[in-house]
Chains A and B, each alone.
Chain A
Amino acid sequence: MALAPASRDSAAHWAGTTLPRAPALIRFRWHYQDERIKYAGRGTVRIAPPDSLRFDYVGPLGLGSGAAVVIGDSVVWADPDKDFRSLVPAVPMLWAAFAMVRPPADGATVFGTQLVDSLRHTRRVVWRFAQPEDTLDYVVTHLDSAGHGGMLEAEWRRRGKMVARSWSRLDSLAHPASARSDFPEVSGGARFELTVVAFDTAQVFAPAVWRSRR
């Protein structure tokens, strides 16, 4: 598939359309496994567009919990830090798991194309944000006329080697419904899966949510 150079502004605009318009709280169940461990639990993610996210998770039977605040592509704080890094090895993929895309970095070269499947009446949009070391590819399959089949696929390569890949399915309102992220280089291959339980846009976030205690 040939990608043509595209404007950074149009990519940033498209990335903005993947975000919720108002603050949103997403409840989900998650499952993580690598060659050593297997965990499952529940979590919530609070999104304050355009760039802030708080991720809370609880382990099986409520054992162990943690949280992290991400602004853009940076982890502002994570507590416990080690658990979060193990659960979420790559921040852009965390956004992608919730079917949201960060705009291309300042120095990124942007490519894009659009594919239309007239038989299935679906449209796919492909974006590539390339930097000297990191390349992020996004493929969006838009919902069909019946409101099905929406998906965001993301792939992150570093120096040409795949670091992570994710598939995020959308519901009929184009909200994230479920996702799977694979990290082939983490502990012999790690997988993080989530299933959205609720998408709530009526939440008001307390300022303390973003603060760190440490």
Chain B
Amino acid sequence: MWRSIRRKSLRRLSGAVVASAACLGLAGCLYGFAGGTLPNVKTVAILPFDNDTPEPRLTAEVSDAVRQALEGRLGLRVATEATADAIVRGRVVRYDPDVPQSVLAGIGQATVTKRKVQIIVDVEIVNQREGTTVWKRQGLSVDGDYDPPAEQEGRKLALAKLVQQIVDGAQSQW
């Protein structure tokens, strides 16, 4: 009796293993057919973003965030503009470094205890082999809180959100 139960369980288990392996195999095939994260895009060139703000360092920082998203999180390879499947370009439209978040009321004056930075960017990923726009977001807004005067901390948070938004946006193309 015990043996028959054990044999049945084993049979069920091995059946489950085979089914799981088949599912994984099928998923692998589908992933392969899709050609990666973005359709038909394996390599990207990141062009420096136009910077419409008075903060020049954002050009490099936003490019770095975009690189992190595409290379580090989405597994795309960064290549030169001439050879890449796609190019990423965009514009840093706006940078507000000190939007008040919380205020401590006082007599005759109020103290801002928390502020946030807000960055607004336009991003576009263009498949340059097919001449099509793979993904585009205009007015993509990210922010990050900080305790004054640590603006850099807020900026780091905002850029981390930008990475996440790009990853989410690109994955929505699956």
Contacts and interface: CB of A to CB of B under 8 A. Distances in A.
A173 interface: no
A102 to B, nearest CB: 23
Given A62-B64, A65-B56, A79-B56, A206 B47 contact: no
A44 B58 CA distance: 14
B67 interface: yes
B59 interface: yes
B6 interface: no
A42 B93 contact: no
Interface string B47-84: 11011111111111101100100000000000000000
A73 interface: no
B60 A213 contact: no
Nearest to A80: B56
Contact of B46 (A43, A62, A79, A212): A62
Contacts of B56: 56, 65-67, 79-80
Interface in B9-53: 46-48, 50-53
A208 B54 contact: yes
Contacts of A80: 56
Nearest to B95: A208
A62 B57 CA distance: 10
Interface string A34-46: 0000000111100
A58 B48 contact: yes
Contact of B63 (A43, A44, A58, A67): A58
B93 A44 contact: no
A209 interface: yes
Contacts of B55: 213
Given A62-B60, A62-B63, A64-B60, A42 B52 contact: no
Q: How large is the interface on A (under 10, 10 to 19, 20 to 34, 35 or more residues)?
A: 20 to 34
Interface string A171-214: 00000000000000000000000000000000001101101110
Contacts of B114: none
A39 B59 CA distance: 17
Given A56-B59, A58-B60, A206 B93 contact: yes
Interface in A98-133: none
B91 to A, nearest CB: 10
Given A56-B59, A206-B93, A208-B94, A62 B52 contact: no
| Most chain A CB neighbours (cut-off 10 Å) among B47, B51, B97 | B51
Interface in A71-98: 79-80
A67 B51 contact: yes
Contacts of A205: 52
20 contacts: A42-B47, A42-B48, A43-B48, A44-B50, A58-B60, A59-B60, A62-B48, A62-B64, A65-B56, A65-B60, A65-B61, A66-B56, A79-B56, A79-B57, A205-B52, A206-B94, A208-B53, A208-B54, A211-B54, A213-B54
Interface of A: 25, 41-44, 56, 58-59, 62-67, 79-80, 205-206, 208-209, 211-213
Interface of B: 46-48, 50-61, 63-64, 67, 93-94, 97
Q: Which 10 residue pairs of A and B lie closest in terms of their CB atoms, listed nearest first?
A: A67-B56, A62-B63, A65-B60, A65-B59, A58-B48, A206-B52, A211-B54, A213-B54, A66-B56, A79-B56
